[in-house]
Chain A
Amino acid sequence: MKKKLIDKNLVIEGLLQLKIAGIILFIISFLGTLIVPIMRFNDILYYKKNGLPTTNLMMPINISEIAPILITFMYLAPFIFTLVLFSFLNKRNSSDFYHSLSCNRITLFNSFVVSIIIWIVATIIICVAAGSIAYTAIGIYVKFSYIMWLIGTLLAGTLLIMSCTLFAMTITGTLFTNIIVFGIIFFLPRFILLMFSKTLQDCVNIYIMNDANIANYKNNIPIMFIFKFLDNINISSNALFSSPSAIIYTLSLAIIYFLIAGFLFNIRKSEIAGTSAPNRILQHCYRCIVALPFALAVPIFLMANNFESRPIYITIFVLLSLFVYYLYELLTTKSFKNALNATPYLLVVVVLSVIFGVLLNISRNNILSFSPSTSEIKYVTFLPGDSFYHGNDYYTVAASNINYSEDNTKNKISDILKNNIETIKKNKNVFQESSVLVKITLKNGKVAKRRLFMTADEYSSLNESMMMNEKYHHVMNSLPSDNIISRVMSDELDDSRSIWNSYKEEFAALPDSVKQKVIMVGQNSYYDGTNNIGSITVMGSLYMKNYMQNYRITKDTPQTAKLYINTVNANNKSAYKNFIDSYGSNDILNFLYIEMINGSGSSEEKAENPETNHIVLYDKPYSDSTLMEIMDILKKSDESQINPSNTLLRISAFCNEHNFSYFLPISPDDAKELKKYCNK
């Protein structure tokens, strides 16, 4: 007898039964998706209206920002849909009814699962498309591959939760036990693995789990979003959503759970409906599982370093484990006799705890035995999240993928790792001023990640050796290529592409020392108003990470600076002329801000005392005679003589509800005259 795997009519029936839950969740998700770009658009309008820089608002969005509400949808929708559609398994009359229908059990199971998947896929795709269209419509770049990663991640996550719920529902028969067993299936294995890895990290604090390790919770997408808050390693938003290993692992687990659930559904007896556990063996399993997390605290505390209150905590957790063990039996069977008869099965909990402890000890020794020599190391890679990385600038992102195979760097890493291990072997954790996250790849193919602790001197020395890496050196002295730039921006200009093209040409000809001055990164990321004529920002995406990089426009790039000044002045000429010609009338001046660029004095002097040296701030009433005198100086300036290498004035004003900037040349005498008004 050939079994039909899916029945179209049953799929339609399932879709109809999910209609109410599906429509409600769809509307919430759809509106929740659209509200974020709408709010962003509103912010952009507000910033533009008030003359505020919109650079940060126009930054390309991360994967999670396309439709953030779908993360909540990923948890709720499959759980609710499955509970609703398979709720017939929890009541005797409904269970009998569905099992009396003229279809195979597997056809019913598969068809209803397809109905759930259709609702989920439709909602995710429509919401992601709506979010992407909305962001694109307001001028924010959405990378196409991000859309695909988001859909893949969400689908894998929703399918896993659906499969877990199905699994739980096929081995229980009440809503309460559905939820409890779902929690056990979904969280418990990962919770135990997390406890395992956290204990290892606690007793060997140089240890970081590899991404590819099956025990790494980052491979389980729905768990990852919850547990990442418990971890002290920063994971970027895009890294969360763009891990092929996580998607493959999550999908595989979902398929395994789905197949188990399908098998169990097929053999499930209709009479289980309404009962908590189908048989006594499962009752023993559930009881042991519930008590196990408390029992595991014993090996965890035994492994912990320098823990003085250890005996007290161990006693507490042993008692808790016993309490939970017997309480569960009493609550579910309401029989003291059953609780007493369950005592021999406590041995299972004890054995599992011992196995957990033994595995912990083996793993600790393995970690401490990993101490490769320089010759064994193929290369090392520095990971984001340590002292070398500053944020989402281009250079941080570009350098994160560089492998350092220079002996000097490898040697330093090898020595630092040896020192760290020696310290831990003396039964204590390592703590130093600096730490780096490093991935060590050996010549034999073995890969290990470690957090290495070092002194400030060791850190500085390591940094110097990194500069010997050609690729790193090249990255740190180059601009992002056009194919990875999604947007070029400057607050004063609508189209900054021509400025950027000019900048690229001049940047290439600059000596390395000057390049490091104009790249705004790390300690050099502040905006220096007394030397910067302007700045230009490029945004894009590299290695699945968004970046935003600012560059200074100074007299070091004269052609670009001139182009920039001319473009700004051309854009604001009428506003400036109107302002300068009509001062003294009843116009409303909100503020006037004059910066002197390339003026006399060293950068240090300017930085120490900028207001008294080179900046005029004005926010007094318009009729002040001082303003009249300043205006007279400005009027004398001859625009045609502007030269970016000479002293310049940048005038920023907000007058008559209109914001503008304007550049003027200024003679040394007038500059001297203007300085009198500084800080008045």
Chain B
Amino acid sequence: MIKAVNLTKKFGNFTALSAINCTIPEGCIYGLVGSNGAGKSTFIRLLAGIYRPDSGTATIDDKSIYENPEVKKRIAYVSDELYFLPQASMNRMAKLYSRTFENFNFERFHYLTNALKLNPNVNVNSFSKGMKRQAATILALSTMPDYILFDETFDGLDPVMRNTVKNIIYSDVCERKSTAVISSHSLRELVDTCDQLALLHKGGIIFESDIENLKTSLFKVQIAFNEDYEKDKFKGIEIINFQKKGSVANLIIRGEREATVEKLKLMKPVLLDVLPLTLEEVFIYEMDALGYAFKDLMI
């Protein structure tokens, strides 16, 4: 289990992460979303043991990560800016990984390179951007990590390549019950992959939720009555957002869907439609409810 307690990191006078608290359970795919400069990469680098926290702690199974090889050998980190040795092939990189990660599994490495049809003898730097991502992911997963940290891994990849990389990660997590932390500045990249999502803004987590909870917590209702009405007509129902055009109102409601609909039916509306919300819409309304303008938080 990854745990961050009051985790803070400063670069000079700039505070990149400010007293972050979060817990990432084992076997979870944890998505970190936020605009550029929100602190996603800093958070992941702290979890990878690259940065020393200025205050607070980042632990895995209650053990500090920074300068702790016993913990770091269980972590695979794939940076937003990939690094390969000059002129190195995947085989050469595999040797480098195997020298520092004692669990490096060559069988898995060969299996994954074959499955993704990557030539391990060719200079990695001659690969396309997507192939490099695949190569880095294969190398990271071949260390047989318990914790996989991907920083903006899917950004800039075409849909085919993105799905391929996602599938590798997803199958590894499923097969080995490992824990993954994936960051992106695009919510769409994460919604179909992650179990849990956190939204970072200006160095702090402003919202964290289970994807399933998120999907079911809010729903949209289109409703109309013969008589004139206002928002106070719906007392007892938790309305996140209320918009009325003419006699038709759109309500974003938090709560138990069936019971709420039954309540609304009792009011004898002339129109009652329950509409699904995309995860992005859910995020927008949740942020609204917290007092943030979503467009300021996301690109």
Contacts and interface: CB of A to CB of B under 8 A. Distances in A.
Interface stretch (B73-81, B163-171, B184-192, B276-284): B73-81
A103 B97 CA distance: 11
Interface in A85-116: 88, 91-94, 96-97, 99-105, 107
Contacts of B45: 96, 270
A13 B97 CA distance: 10
Contact of A102 (B52, B72, B79, B83): B72
A12 B95 CA distance: 11
B100 interface: yes
Given A9-B100, A13-B96, A103-B100, A93 B69 contact: no
Nearest to B100: A101
A223 interface: no
Given A9-B99, A102-B72, A94 B83 contact: yes
A93 B85 contact: no
A93 B99 contact: no
A10 B79 contact: no
A16 B92 CA distance: 10
B72 A101 contact: yes
Interface string B148-166: 0000000000000000000
A92 B100 contact: no
A271 interface: yes
A10 B85 contact: no
Contact of A100 (B11, B50, B68, B85): B50
Given A93-B83, A270-B50, A102 B69 contact: yes
Contacts of A17: 85
B81 A100 contact: no
Contacts of A13: 95-96, 99-100
Contact of B100 (A1, A16, A102, A105): A102
Contacts of A92: 81
A269 interface: yes
B67 A10 contact: no
B49 interface: yes
B101 interface: yes
Contacts of B100: 9-10, 13, 101-103
Interface in A1-16: 1, 4, 9-10, 12-13, 16
Contacts of A99: 49-50
B46 to A, nearest CB: 11
A271 B51 contact: yes
Interface residues on B, range: 20 to 34
A105 B101 contact: no
A107 B67 CA distance: 10
Contacts of B211: none
Contact of A10 (B49, B83, B99, B102): B99
A17 B87 CA distance: 11
Contacts of A269: 51-52
Contact of A96 (B11, B70, B83): B83
B261 interface: no
A102 B73 contact: yes
Nearest to B88: A17
A100 B75 CA distance: 9
B140 to A, nearest CB: 10
A93 B96 contact: no
Nearest to B74: A102
Interface in B61-118: 67-70, 72-73, 75, 77, 79, 81-83, 85, 95-96, 99-102
A567 B99 CA distance: 70
B68 A1 contact: yes
A13 B73 CA distance: 17
A104 B69 contact: yes
A93 B72 CA distance: 18
A103 B50 contact: no
Interface in A58-107: 88, 91-94, 96-97, 99-105, 107
B48 interface: yes
Nearest to B77: A100
A125 B100 CA distance: 30
Given A10-B100, A13-B96, A96-B45, A271 B83 contact: no
A103 B69 contact: yes
Nearest to A4: B69
Contacts of B77: 96, 100
A12 B48 CA distance: 24
B48 A102 contact: no
A105 B72 CA distance: 12
Nearest to B76: A100
B51 A102 contact: no
B49 A270 contact: no
Interface string A99-140: 111111101000000000000000000000000000000000
Nearest to B101: A102
A104 B52 CA distance: 13
B152 to A, nearest CB: 12
Contacts of A104: 67, 69
Interface string A424-440: 00000000000000000
B72 A100 contact: yes
Contacts of B67: 104-105
Contacts of B73: 102
Contacts of A9: 99-100
Contacts of A270: 45, 50-51
Interface string B215-253: 000000000000000000000000000000000000000
Q: Kindly name the residue among A1, A17, A96, A279 whose own CB sees the greatest number of chain B CB atoms within 10 A.
A: A96
A17 B73 CA distance: 22
Nearest to A101: B100
A100 B99 contact: no
A100 B147 CA distance: 13
A88 B69 CA distance: 19
A497 B277 CA distance: 108
Contacts of A96: 45, 48, 50, 77, 79, 81, 83
A99 B75 CA distance: 12
Nearest to A108: B100
Contacts of A16: 95
Nearest to B51: A270
A93 B82 contact: yes
18 contacts: A1-B68, A4-B69, A9-B99, A88-B83, A93-B81, A93-B82, A93-B83, A94-B83, A96-B79, A96-B83, A97-B83, A101-B72, A101-B100, A102-B73, A104-B69, A107-B69, A269-B51, A270-B51
Given A10-B99, A100-B77, A271-B51, 15 more contacts: A4-B69, A13-B95, A13-B100, A16-B95, A92-B81, A96-B45, A96-B48, A96-B83, A100-B50, A100-B75, A101-B100, A103-B72, A105-B67, A270-B45, A279-B12
Interface of A: 1, 4, 9-10, 12-13, 16-17, 88, 91-94, 96-97, 99-105, 107, 269-271, 279
Listed from nearest, the 3 A-B pairs whose CB atoms lie closest are: A102-B73, A9-B99, A93-B81
